[in-house]
Amino acid sequence: MVDLVESLNCSHCGAPLDLSPGEIIVTCRYCGSDVRIAGEKRFLLKHSMVATQYQEEAIRQVITSWMAGGAFRPDDLARSSRIESLECIYLPFYVFEVDASTTWRGVLSRTGQPFEKSGELRKDYFWKILGRRSSPFPTREYRLPLAAKTTFDMSQMVKGSKFLNAEMDEDEAKRLVEDEVTEHQKQLLLQEEVDDVIEAKTAVDVKDAEFVHAPIWFMRYSYRKKMYEMTVDGAAGEVIKADVPPPETGFGSLFSRR
């Protein structure tokens, strides 16, 4: 079934909305209002963005110094690689503040004679969900810099950056949070308490939710005729994740030199 789009104008300022198929929470480029494309409900989450001082030149320096420093990187990486594409994209995140409480029962066997334990694991989290469906972005590795949050303002964005609307709404994001936090709690039990979980019941209490756009740089570089990728946190100026070319050692490098 196809949802008919009733209006393609911002309900707040009347400006035309810029949206692509699959996007359901659309941010007005003029006034920053968020408009829900399908459904009656108004979108009420607080919307902010992550501020940054880093423009492209500074991000290029971050990339260059990452390439130049650090063990396990080829010595000539900075010298012999080339940046093939580099762009800044503001990605939409839902950030939830949650209390999680898991009552559990399990068996600890790693210390010798197996024995049963039980308890309650309570944690609180700021948990983020990327509001896009098929993105290669490494959400778990990214520490969204909430300290740099500021009022949403398109004019303060990185020059030449792109902007993405959300493809899921806050209700769907909340369901994902519940699933992910439940699974995370179970993994904590397996790391810290027991080797087998017999039973675990997790209650996830969402205390607060907000919508945040954050600048992320996506970079592709070539090195010795192969392509690699890197993502950089545009606010903190830190590499989030990067492909590292394998070292050229031993006979392989001799043979490949021909």
Nearer to Zn ion, 142 or 152 (CB): 152
Site string for Zn ion, 112-131 (x = CB under 5 A): --------------------
Does 13 contact Zn ion by CB under 5 A? yes
Please work out the total of residues on this chain that contact Zn ion, with binding judged by CB under 5 A. 8
We find the least distance from the C-beta atom of residue 87 to Zn ion, in angstroms, to be 25
Nearer to Zn ion, 31 or 198 (CB): 31
We find the least distance from the C-beta atom of residue 31 to Zn ion, in angstroms, to be 3
Among 5, 12, 116, 226, binds Zn ion (CB under 5 A): 12
Nearer to Zn ion, 28 or 204 (CB): 28
We find the least distance from the C-beta atom of residue 11 to Zn ion, in angstroms, to be 8
We find the least distance from the C-beta atom of residue 33 to Zn ion, in angstroms, to be 5
We find the least distance from the C-beta atom of residue 40 to Zn ion, in angstroms, to be 19
Per CB under 5 A, contacts with Zn ion among 29-68 are 30-31, 33
How far apart (Å, rounded) are the C-alpha atoms in residues 56 and 160? 9
For residue 164, what are the CA distances in angstroms to 16, 31, 97, 133, 189?
Answer: 16, 16, 23, 12, 36
Q: Which residues bind Zn ion (CB under 5 A)?
A: 10, 12-13, 15, 28, 30-31, 33
